[in-house]
Chains A and B, each alone.
Chain A
Amino acid sequence: MSHHLIEARDVWFAYPQGADVLRGLSFRITHGEAVGLIGCNGAGKSTLLMHLNGFLTPRCGEIRIGDTPLTAQTVAAARRAVGVVFQDPDDQLFMPTVAEDVAFGPLNLGLPLDEVAQRVGAALERVGMTSVRERPPYKLSAGEKRAVAIATVLAMMPDILVMDEPTSSLDSRGRRRLIELLRGFEHTRIIATHDLELVVEICSRVLIMDEGRIVADGPARTILGDRELLHAHGLERPHSLSHAHAHTAE
């Protein structure tokens, strides 16, 4: 059974005493896809992300992870399958040392201690943060924090990675390293961001959200090259797609 796919079927949601934030939203993301979720502020991106691992439950419609609908009974399994990297790493890191922070998740899964240690080592290695493993997280730079936050999620070995604004507050070098890292992942990836250049580099597919709906869903280059479409939803065409000369990564 594959957990790598994630599906929303006609999801509606409203916060208490509020108007609908998600209004009949559907999509299906399959194994190994890297999907950019874009849209202006207040479009409902973060609310949607909160649905993907069961922190919010749709008023009607359903979310499916793999072949299972996300319900109160399956939420634990869903959280295991879907790793969320939060927008602010400070919300995610709270143990006295980096290594303990990365171990927090695997320990909660009840894994044997040697397996936990091995996963911590592997996750830190993957994000290139082995050298800071004994340091307190609050002393790290923004880029290091972000990498460690990703390691904490990788150590859970999720099938699907969900990220909220992964490049916010990173400098150019930190952003570049993160892009290389994200590109190397084989997970199904959903990245909510305003950084459209990031989407160009990583994602094969793009969903545009506006007023709680998916208003466009298609190949990244097609959608991000469509100036009228982007403009209609408060977005701008990324510079690298706006004219013909080469934009290499370096």
Chain B
Amino acid sequence: MAVESEGAVENNGVVRTAMGFGSIMNNSYGIGRMGIWRMDEMGGQATPLHRMDARIKILTVFIFIGFVMSFPRYEISALMPFFLFPLVLMGRAGIPPSYIFKKVLIASPFALAVGIFNPWLDPAPMIRVGGIFVSGGWLSFLSILIRFSLTVSVALTLLACTGIQRLCDGMGRMGVPQVLVVQLQLLYRYLFVVVEEGGRLGRGLALRAGPRSRITLRTYGALVGHLLLRSLDRAQRVYQAMASRGYTGETRMMHPPVLRRVDLLFLVGWVLFFGVARYWNLAGQMGRLLIGGGR
């Protein structure tokens, strides 16, 4: 809890006591807060990849997603080479893959919910792996999970290797309506507000709830209502602070990006790679090359 104790916590001793109760809310507050700030910190770095024109990165990511989605529903092996893209981005931007992986896990229930019934809906056997028949449903389920991991990890990496300010600035310059860009910016800002207010409420609760008391639905309802009202109040103050510093909906950058030839090479290079990986099953070829089978 390094960040927790360094942050704006009014009274560290109190926090520790509260943590001692093992309150779920309090712990998740710590993790959520660290995670959310960490994303902000990563986005604020100044590696060459961070400083690259955001438009190029956004465009490449969209093309990437298009390619990943274009595969037939049972495809698995041919998708594998696409993991190279997020991994290279993370490597170049100094983002630990484990960090992105955890975030992907958090979002994974959505993908699971989408694909979980496929094995029942499509039980016809498709391939044999070591004497066991695998149905088409299982294959398409796996394929959905892989595509989900690819696209979500790339989207998160894009945020972590660009930062919300540069991302929004890039979107604005790509012609995304200002209204949407501002929405996104404020939504992002609001996340921090809710997480921090939630943390404060959680602490208050942890201090008064005994070690084994359970949160009843009634308390929970009051808590969530409170969270909404408090976040609204706080959001209002944050907005006022922004407005009193001349915020009118448009943000300018301290270091506006310049489009360089390297950036275009980045785009062209990756799109070529996606194209090659789309039309030749690179993983399959590699397998054939290594074990000499495959027929």
Known A-B contacts A91-B238, A103-B254, A108-B251; the reply to A79 vs B244 at CB < 8 A is yes
Closest partner residue, chain B, to A83 (CB atom): B244
Q: How far is the CA of A82 from the CA of B246 in the complex (A)?
A: 11
Closest partner residue, chain B, to A95 (CB atom): B165
Question: Using an 8 Å CB-CB cutoff, how does the interface string of A86-98 with B read, 1 for contact, 0 for none?
Answer: 1010111011110
| CB contact between A105 and one of B6, B196, B237, B245 (< 8 Å): that residue | B245
Q: How far is the CA of A53 from the CA of B44 in the complex (A)?
A: 31
Q: In the bound complex, do residue B43 and residue A107 qualify as a contact, i.e. CB atoms below 8 Å apart? A: no
| CB contact between B246 and one of A96, A117, A136, A156 (< 8 Å): that residue | A156
> Chain A binding site: helix, strand, loop or mixed by DSSP?
helix
Q: How many residues of B contact A (CB 8 A)?
A: 33
Q: In the bound complex, do residue A107 and residue B240 qualify as a contact, i.e. CB atoms below 8 Å apart? A: no
Contacts of B163 in A (CB 8 A): 96
> What interface size band does chain A fall in?
35 or more
In the complex, A12 has a CB within 8 A of chain B: no
In the complex, A153 has a CB within 8 A of chain B: yes
In the complex, B234 has a CB within 8 A of chain A: yes
In the complex, B99 has a CB within 8 A of chain A: no
Q: In the bound complex, do residue A138 and residue B8 qualify as a contact, i.e. CB atoms below 8 Å apart? A: yes
Known A-B contacts A91-B238, A156-B246; the reply to A96 vs B41 at CB < 8 A is yes
Closest partner residue, chain A, to B237 (CB atom): A91
Q: How far is the CA of A230 from the CA of B188 in the complex (A)?
A: 46
Q: How far is the CA of A76 from the CA of B248 in the complex (A)?
A: 9
Contacts of B189 in A (CB 8 A): 94
Known A-B contacts A94-B192, A100-B254, A136-B37; the reply to A84 vs B244 at CB < 8 A is yes
Known A-B contacts A53-B244, A153-B245, A156-B246; the reply to A96 vs B254 at CB < 8 A is no
Which residues between 91 and 132 of chain A lie within 8 Å of chain B, taking CB atoms?
Answer: 91-92, 94-97, 99-100, 103-105, 107-110, 113, 116-117
Closest partner residue, chain B, to A145 (CB atom): B8
Q: In the bound complex, do residue B6 and residue A104 qualify as a contact, i.e. CB atoms below 8 Å apart? A: no
CB distance from A91 to the nearest CB of B (A): 4
Contacts of B196 in A (CB 8 A): 90
In the complex, A80 has a CB within 8 A of chain B: yes
Q: How far is the CA of A105 from the CA of B6 in the complex (A)?
A: 27
Contacts of A91 in B (CB 8 A): 234, 237-238, 240-241
CB distance from A155 to the nearest CB of B (A): 9
In the complex, B75 has a CB within 8 A of chain A: no
In the complex, B40 has a CB within 8 A of chain A: yes
Q: Which 6 A-B pairs have the closest CB atoms?
A: A96-B44, A108-B246, A105-B245, A107-B252, A91-B237, A92-B241
| 29 sample A-B contacts, Cβ–Cβ < 8 Å, listed by A number | A50-B240, A76-B246, A82-B244, A83-B244, A84-B241, A84-B244, A91-B240, A92-B238, A92-B241, A94-B242, A96-B41, A96-B163, A97-B44, A100-B44, A100-B254, A104-B245, A104-B247, A105-B245, A107-B253, A107-B254, A108-B247, A108-B251, A108-B252, A109-B246, A116-B254, A136-B41, A138-B7, A139-B6, A145-B8
With A86-B237, A94-B238, A104-B247 known, 15 other A-B pairs at CB within 8 A are A76-B246, A82-B244, A86-B241, A88-B237, A91-B241, A95-B165, A96-B43, A105-B246, A108-B248, A108-B252, A113-B254, A138-B37, A139-B7, A152-B245, A156-B245
Instruction: Please list the residues of chain B having a beta carbon within 8 angstroms of any beta carbon in chain A.
Output: 3, 6-8, 10, 37, 40-41, 43-44, 163, 165, 189, 192, 196, 234, 237-238, 240-248, 250-254, 256
